[in-house]
């Protein structure tokens, strides 16, 4: 009886030989890539609605906009620097894994985690030093809603990078299988862009309007 010819191996399976995890789809064919894009689109609209509510309430009679005067940049300024530095370290993490330099990838991911923790700490310090509470006024409510929504997304991103660090240390990623690190970097870029929008709306516009 003649042996049946072996089924041809997929090219991505051949490329992943030696990886600890099977590759599956690569690059823009990966489900995680498209999942991230749809997440960015949907959640960007969420922030657009919150910004609309912010400006809508700011022009209402008796809105008391803003209690205690325009906000300072004591914490929001360093936050902006931290999140932009995180863009650089997240980019370098993806650049390093594409070059199959796992050690440099781990260092870049670790730096991104430290910067992320700094951003979160600065956000809490900024909240604790506000002269108003969550339900003190319309402004305080929309302020905590916007900054809190962004912080919630940021914490999710921080946990994401923590898992990327662990998985990279376990050898799950290499120059072939690295879409999760790319997705993490893109998520951080989106968080940075959102923060700049939040910074402009909440901290910048009170000085112009």
Determine the Cα–Cα distance for residues 42 and 36; give it in Å rounded to an integer.
Answer: 10
**Which token pair is 147?**
């900054």
Domain ranges of the chain: 48-53+72-203
- For the chain, how many residues are written? 209
Which fold does the domain 48-53+72-203 belong to in CATH? 1.20.120
Going by the DSSP 8-state scheme, the letter that residue 136 receives in this structure is S
Task: Show the low-confidence residues of the chain (pLDDT under 70).
Answer: 1-32, 63
> In this structure, are residues 201 and 143 in contact, taking their beta carbons and an 8 Å threshold?
no
Q: Residue 135, class by beta-carbon neighbours within 10 Å (0-12 exposed, 13-18 middle, 19+ buried)?
A: exposed
pLDDT digits over 131-174, tens only? 888 888 889 999 999 999 999 999 999 999 999 999 999 999 98
Closest CA to 117 of 162, 165, 158: 158
């Amino acid at each position: 009886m003649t042996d049946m010819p072996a089924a041809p191996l997929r090219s991505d399976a051949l490329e992943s030989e030696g990886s600890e995890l099977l590759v599956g789809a690569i690059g823009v064919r990966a489900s995680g890539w498209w999942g991230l894009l749809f997440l960015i689109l949907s959640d960007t609209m969420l922030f657009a609605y919150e910004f609309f509510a912010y400006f809508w309430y700011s022009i209402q009679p008796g809105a008391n906009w803003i209690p205690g005067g325009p906000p300072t940049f004591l914490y929001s300024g360093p936050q902006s620097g931290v999140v932009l530095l995180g863009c650089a370290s997240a980019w370098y993490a993806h650049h390093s894994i594409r070059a199959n330099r796992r050690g440099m990838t781990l260092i870049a991911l670790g730096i991104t985690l430290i910067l992320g923790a700094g951003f979160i700490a600065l956000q809490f310090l900024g909240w604790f030093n506000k002269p108003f509470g969550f339900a003190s006024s319309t402004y305080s409510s929309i302020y905590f809603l916007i900054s809190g929504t962004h912080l919630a997304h940021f914490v999710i991103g921080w946990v994401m990078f923590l898992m990327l660090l662990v998985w990279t240390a376990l050898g799950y990623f290499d120059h072939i299988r690295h879409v999760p690190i790319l997705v993490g970097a893109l998520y951080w870029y989106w968080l940075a862009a959102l923060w700049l929008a939040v910074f402009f709306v909440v901290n910048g516009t009170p000085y112009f309007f």
